[in-house]
Structure 1
Amino acid sequence: MNNTLVTVGIVSFLSGALLSQWLLAQKVHSRPRKLERYLSSDDEAETEDDDEQGEEEDDVEIESLALNEVPGEVRMTLCVRQDLKMGKGKAAAQCSHATLSLYKKITNPNSPAYNPEMVRRWEYGNGQAKITLQVPNQEEMDLLFAKAMSLGINACIIHDAGRTQIAAGSATVLGLGPAPKRTLDEVTGKLKLY
């Protein structure tokens, strides 16, 4: 079951990355009318994927350059809310949204979150490691988010559009990183694996 979830997560992430590249190419050449309402010229916090699952994220950009001095493994951490009782596929999709959001922030040279050294360590140091953890509820997620910001960790909270299982606007996943495992553990070290 865990291998299936990992596979679904990887496929979802890669699909999202490819879709993002395709959408950017379409944006350069011409914008189909259907996509016009989802895309804007600035970096918008709302995205849309193939299954019409619009997601929003809390748009906070955190400068993480000081974390480049922390040695060791670099990873992303995805904290999935347990009180929402999302299905495995829904949770995998929400984690994919968070992964792509974090990656877009930390690789955007116009963002305060831009940190190519951390990206290099994450991509080539240990194979873009990601870990999924359980967070019990919204309140705990908000506390973890605040702690991550205080430590300079790139972070986002994904909010569901409410078209399927979850009420519109519900915070589903807290994404953290890429950041050194040692620093991430200060925030999420007591959480259980998802």
Structure 2
Amino acid sequence: MASKHIKQVIVMRKDLNMRKGKMIAQGAHASIAFLTRQATIEGNVLQTHLRNPEEVLEWMTEGFKKICLSVDSEEELDRIYQQAVDDGLVATLITDSGLTEFGGIPTKTCCAIGPNRNEDIDRITKDLKLL
């Protein structure tokens, strides 16, 4: 059963017209990046240093609730991401290297916000459209 209190939102740029497989890969990068970017390897053990371990544990044990939303520009993606950071939420911005799409130009494709409390994320993303 999905958590009623904690979720993650993936915000994807629609203006890039990415192939579906590319979008899925970028969203998957965004969803897991909060764990890898807050981690170190000590010996052969991955140590995570999460700011909100209780919320993450609830999210991980109760269904990994995710919502996929869209924006129509890099500027809109940057604004949503920065607002999440400014509000102290877990947020990760993904920049694709451009090797398979985007003509070799590194391109911001999506961001993930959360896992955090639904109401904290909704304050930022409530007006965005479903992907």
Q: Give the TM-score normalised by structure 2.
A: 0.83
CA deviations on 1:71-99 (whole Å, 9 max, x unpaired) are x5111110000111101110000001111
Structure 1 residue identity aligned to 2:72 = P
Q: What residue number does 1:146 align with?
A: 82
Q: What residue number does 1:183 align with?
A: 120
Q: What residue number does 1:91 align with?
A: 23
**As a proportion of its length, which structure holds more helix?**
1
Q: How does 1:1-194 map to 2 (within 5 A)?
A: 73-105=5-37, 111=49, 113-124=50-61, 126-167=62-103, 168-194=105-131
Structure 2 residue matching 1:128: 3-state secondary structure: coil
CA deviations on 1:85-121 (whole Å, 9 max, x unpaired) are 101110000001111102334576564x432211111
Structure 2 residue identity aligned to 1:165 = E
Bigger RCO (CA 8 Å, 6+ sep): 2
CA deviations on 1:52-75 (whole Å, 9 max, x unpaired) are xxxxxxxxxxxxxxxxxxxx5111
Structure 2 residue matching 1:85: 3-state secondary structure: coil
Q: Give the TM-score normalised by structure 1.
A: 0.58
How many matched pairs? 121
CA–CA separation in structure 2 for the residues paired with 1:103 and 1:193: 25
Unpaired runs of 5+ residues, structure 1, are: 1-71
Unpaired runs of 5+ residues, structure 2, are: 41-46
In the TM superposition, what is the alpha-carbon distance from 1:161 to its structure 2 partner? 1.1
State, as a whole percentage, how many aligned pairs show the same letter: 32
Greater Rg over alpha carbons, structure: 1
In the TM superposition, what is the alpha-carbon distance from 1:130 to its structure 2 partner? 1.0
Check conservation: 1:107, 1:119, Cα contact below 8 A: no
**As a proportion of its length, which structure holds more strand?**
2
Structure 1 residue identity aligned to 2:71 = V
Structure 2 residue identity aligned to 1:174 = C
